[in-house]
């Protein structure tokens, strides 16, 4: 994360972070993001249904309406932010 943050900072690329398995020790990541002024766009807690979908090689949103809505909102937010000058 630190290396990626350095690269995008040098390039001047807008940046945000999605924390996967956020309930399993995300404090260091959140603190780093806070210190670097990097927004945390989404925190994904451990979810057995998501893990099972990934294990089957399926998109996590295919059969999970809750996560489909969450990821669609993330997509809208990111694309809207990317279009700002």
The verdict on 2 and 39 lying in the same domain is: yes
Provide the H-helix boundaries in 19-64. 27-36, 48-55
The verdict on 42 and 66 lying in the same domain is: no
The verdict on 7 and 42 lying in the same domain is: yes
**What's residue 43's pLDDT?**
93
Q: What domain range includes position 66?
A: 47-85
CA separation for the pair 44, 73 (Å, rounded): 13
Mean pLDDT (the chain) is 90
**What's residue 6's pLDDT?**
94
How many structural domains is the chain composed of?
A: 2
Q: Residue 84: is its pLDDT beyond 80?
A: no
**What's residue 29's pLDDT?**
92
The verdict on 42 and 53 lying in the same domain is: no
Q: What would the pLDDT profile of 31-71 be if each residue is shown by its tens digit?
A: 999 999 999 999 999 888 888 888 999 988 888 899 999 99
The verdict on 30 and 65 lying in the same domain is: no
Q: How far is CA 76 from the centre of its chain?
A: 13
Beta-carbon-side half-sphere exposure of residue 35 (alpha carbons within 13 Å): 10
The verdict on 7 and 28 lying in the same domain is: yes
Both tokens assigned to 6? 């350095």
């Amino acid at each position: 994360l630190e290396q990626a943050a350095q690269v995008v900072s040098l390039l001047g690329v807008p940046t945000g972070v999605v924390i996967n398995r956020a309930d399993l020790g995300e404090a260091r990541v959140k603190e780093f993001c806070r210190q670097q002024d990097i927004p945390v766009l989404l925190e994904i807690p451990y979810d057995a249904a998501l893990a099972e979908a990934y294990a089957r090689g399926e998109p996590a949103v295919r059969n999970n309406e809750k996560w489909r809505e969450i990821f669609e909102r993330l997509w809208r937010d990111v694309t809207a932010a990317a279009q700002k000058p």
